[in-house]
Structure 1
């Protein structure tokens, strides 16, 4: 799938349209007990993106629905007493194969992630869990994928390897065969004074040696010469990534969080997102997310879930 260019009304439109082509992606929603966290998955269900399965105090969920005019007809609800039980039960349902996507409701992120990362009952894999912002920036040709700006605070080199691979695998699910990945730093030259430039160079070498696969890596790159062809030309940086990056890998959570919020509040970008590296894609919503952003997040997760399903079927067939 080729994501739309800047002349299209919204880059999210194609994601949502593509997600409507997926089949029966059950999304387990943990504790959707306020209007945004309930309306998002219900609207996504009505749009044909997912099949929501709600987990939480049923009386409270129905009270929110009645108060906000949300129709729960045909929606399955698993009744549990509180948010902690909702998180634990939602993860258990995923482990039992009763859902292919997990979605956060109106509970604290730490409470939600604690159940996901539990070594005994969680959804860990051999990869580190990481988050990708899927950003529709007005006036910019490509959808930008920023990682990791939500989970790993100061990732080491091995964690960054997983962060990069998680993002590449997501873009493969979205139909982008060879994602262009920029490893960001403050400058585009390697210097011992800025450790992130050394890690960027190491990640590129890891890609050359097959430790990261499926994407084109370049780094270190500064933000301007990663996304602007003219800035890359002025700095004499060639290659397929500079000026045309799709994935922006940030040095740490602080840098990524500030970059994503700058784009949201100054460039009026929409910021959907998904958590990767677990057994299923995870929609980690914010209370500030609009319904449209929640729809886009559900769309990305649904597309990724179906792509995983197809890859698993191919493995089994072999």
Structure 2
């Protein structure tokens, strides 16, 4: 066990000193900004900082001041110190990667009041002073020795950041004409209209006009210039949207306020639906805190218990989506409960077969490995502990689950327990289908629209 111990007034002599050293990381700046509320763009906006006088992101000045306080409170004099006054002079900026040494030196003592003056110096790796000043404290007169408190780990996650990057990637693309099916509540209508205002889609609202207009009033949104196709109910809206897609009048579909099966039933109709030679499947695109990149999970919404042929299409759909979103060679982990082929667990046999199909060119565009347990797929340390040497293990882009139940539970666990944000679309039909949950917010709907837009334009580019 580590302990923290002070030095009493009588133990300290003029000239005594203590120091600590820190290297400035981006996380330090972000955490200080969150704690203080100081979001001066010189500290948190890289584009602005490049045009500022220092031409780079710099630390908050009081980050160094806080480190001086840390030395006084933990080293010299240490626990029991009462901080009275501090003056600081900021001499040079501290940039990312700079190493700063914070030193305090006792300049004077007053035996009657137990007050001390300490000179404070923060210097960088080149020995240059970045902060100077003096602190006045009352030093403790009694000895304190306590177990050092273990601080919690802090992980910062910028909510929606990856989705904003996704949306930014569409800025030079033309919006895609989208049939919005039964947008008769605040959230689904707002999502569609916001996607339209950001240039992701051209919304065509299909549903009972009176309900759509009522939803617009509730959301305080204007419908001026928006095409509305009046149909009596949600079933009719889904059927009309599918027919428009069959005629080539829309590029994709967006789910509004209706059950998934209401929308999917006309889509999969063999005579009048949107089937292709490829099996349809759903892909979740999750922004999971602490995972270093977007994580795709498939299929958690369409295929209940897919056979091997269906899984091949599920994998291919997900690879093509990831490529459309900028992942040049997606790493695909075929999940099971274990990482070895075990005949009594059918999903391990499917995983092995899928990997061989990839090896023989029946699946293209990515790199596959499986079977892999979930931890081996997303954690390099877990994979190394099991002795798994693989390009995919510990660094997967796509997780292919054994069946819908496993996928749905995995995705919702990440959303509700790990704080992941979700977006999702269905691929394999004649047009992509944005299949968000009724509980999803506007950002999820915008991200799904961006995914569909990127996929459509990527598919057109590949075709030409």
Determine the structure 1 residue equivalent to 2:226.
Answer: 75
Distance 1:256 1:84 in 2: 27
Larger radius of gyration: 2
Greater RCO (Cα-Cα under 8 Å, separation 6 or more):
1
Residue 65 in structure 1 maps to residue 252 in structure 2: no
Determine the structure 2 residue equivalent to 1:136.
Answer: 287
Determine the structure 2 residue equivalent to 1:202.
Answer: 353
Question: Does structure 1 conserve the Cα–Cα contact (< 8 Å) formed by 2:175 and 2:453?
Answer: no
The structure with the largest helix share of the pair is 1
SS at match of 2:272: coil
Determine the structure 2 residue equivalent to 1:245.
Answer: 396
Determine the structure 2 residue equivalent to 1:265.
Answer: 416
Determine the structure 1 residue equivalent to 2:206.
Answer: 55
User: TM (normalized to structure 1)?
Assistant: 0.94
Structural mapping, 1:1-318, within 5 Å: 10-312=161-463, 314=464
Moved more, 213-222 or 75-84: 75-84
Question: Does structure 1 conserve the Cα–Cα contact (< 8 Å) formed by 2:157 and 2:289?
Answer: no
User: TM (normalized to structure 2)?
Assistant: 0.65
SS at match of 1:19: coil
Cα displacement string for residues 107-162 of structure 1 (whole angstroms, at most 9, x for unaligned residues): 22111111111111111100111000000001110110000011111111111001
- State the shift of 1:20 in Å: 2.7
Distance 2:171 2:177 in 1: 13
The structure with the largest strand share of the pair is 2
SS at match of 1:198: helix
Distance 2:446 2:224 in 1: 19
- State the shift of 1:7 in Å: 7.5
5+ residue gaps, structure 1, are: 1-5
SS at match of 2:213: helix
SS at match of 1:182: strand
Distance 1:125 1:261 in 2: 29
SS at match of 1:55: strand
Distance 2:365 2:158 in 1: 28
Distance 1:37 1:117 in 2: 23
Distance 2:260 2:162 in 1: 27
SS at match of 1:187: coil
5+ residue gaps, structure 2, are: 1-155
Question: Does structure 1 conserve the Cα–Cα contact (< 8 Å) formed by 2:242 and 2:267?
Answer: yes
SS at match of 1:27: strand
Question: Does structure 1 conserve the Cα–Cα contact (< 8 Å) formed by 2:180 and 2:204?
Answer: yes
Question: Does structure 2 conserve the Cα–Cα contact (< 8 Å) formed by 1:184 and 1:222?
Answer: yes
Cα displacement string for residues 195-226 of structure 1 (whole angstroms, at most 9, x for unaligned residues): 11111000000101111111100000000110
- State the shift of 1:310 in Å: 2.3
